[in-house]
A = this chain, B = another copy of it.
Amino acid sequence: MSIKVIIAGFKGRMGQAAYQMVSGDPELELAALIDPFAEETDVAGVPVFNRKEDLVGLEADVWVDFTMPKVAYENTRFAVENGFAPVVGTTGFIPEQIQELTELSRDKGLGGLIAPNFAIGAVLLMQFAAQAAKYFPNVEIIELHHDKKKDAPSGTAIKTAELISENREKIQQGAVDEEELMPGARGANFEGMRIHSVRLPGLVAHQEVIFGSQGEGLTLRHDSYDRVSFMTGVNLGIKEVVKRHELVYGLEHLL
C-alpha cells in the first residue's frame, strides 16, 4: 500500500522538485498540495489548497514541508497534531521548538524529521569523517563553492569540523616551527585542524576531508551538482518516518 503524501509549499523550487519526486515513485501517492500562492484547485487530479486548516481530517501519512522559516514551526505543529508525520526541509527552528515538537510527536507516537541538509552523501561524509578521525587525528578540510557564496568557511565545513573534533585526539597540526610567508596560506584554524575555502565560478558545492598518516592518506569527497540531490534524502525520510514513533532532528538519525 502506498504512502499518502501532502506537500506544503509546492509552488516553490524545492516544492516542485518534491512534487516531481513523489509523482514518480510508485510507492508514494500525492494526497494534497498546499501553497498560499496557488491559484489552481487541482494538479493532475490532486487537490490544491491555500490554507493548512483546510486539510484537517484529510487521510494522509506524511507532510512534506518546503515553505518559509516564519511558518515552519506552526506548520510542523499542525502536521503532528493532525497525525501527518512531518518531513521538514524548511529552516528557522530554534532548539526549544524542536524540543517541543519532539515531545509532542512522542505523545502522539508519530515519526517525523526536521533536517537542515537532505543530501545523503553530505551526511554520510560527515559520519565517515567523524569515524576516521578516531584513527587519523591529522585532518584538513577543503570546501569548494561557486564564487557568489558570501561566507567562508561553509556551514557544512564547520559542522564537519565540529563532528571530527568530538572524536579526534586534540593535537596542533603542521610543523612546530611552521611559518606563513603570506597570511592565510594555512587556512582557518579550528582547534588545530585547518579549513580552506575555495570560491570559483563554475563550481557548485563540494567538500573534501583529507586525513593523513604515516605513508598513507584517506580522502572523503562530496560533490553536490544540483539541488535535486536533496530529493533522495526526502524520499528516504518519507519512507522512514512512517515506521517510527518520534520526530528526529537531522537526517543522520535515519541512516
Contacts and interface: CB of A to CB of B under 8 A. Distances in A.
Interface of A: 119-122, 124-125, 128, 131-132, 135-136, 138-140, 142, 144, 147-153, 158, 173-175, 177-190, 194-204, 210-232, 236, 255
Contact of A128 (B128, B144, B158): B128
A225 B217 contact: yes
Closest 7 CB pairs of A and B: A200-B212, A215-B229, A215-B226, A182-B188, A216-B229, A185-B188, A202-B212
A255 B185 CA distance: 31
B210 A200 contact: yes
B184 A183 contact: yes
Grouping DSSP codes into helix (H, G, I), strand (E, B) and loop, the A interface class, with mixed when no group exceeds half, is mixed
B187 A203 contact: no
Contacts of A222: 216-219
A136 B202 CA distance: 11
Contacts of A198: 140, 142, 187, 194, 196, 210
A136 B151 contact: no
Q: For the complex formed by this chain, how many copies does it contain in all? A: 4
B173 A182 contact: no
B203 A125 contact: no
A135 B183 contact: no
A149 to B, nearest CB: 6
A159 B119 CA distance: 28
A211 B144 CA distance: 12
B124 A201 contact: no
Given A181-B152, A183-B184, A121 B189 contact: no
Contact of A121 (B119, B182, B216): B216
Given A142-B142, A179-B152, A185-B187, A228 B203 contact: no
Nearest to A134: B255
A216 to B, nearest CB: 4
Given A124-B131, A173-B200, A194-B199, 17 more contacts: A124-B132, A147-B212, A150-B177, A151-B178, A152-B185, A153-B185, A182-B190, A186-B197, A200-B210, A200-B211, A202-B213, A202-B214, A214-B228, A215-B230, A216-B225, A217-B223, A219-B220
A201 B152 contact: no
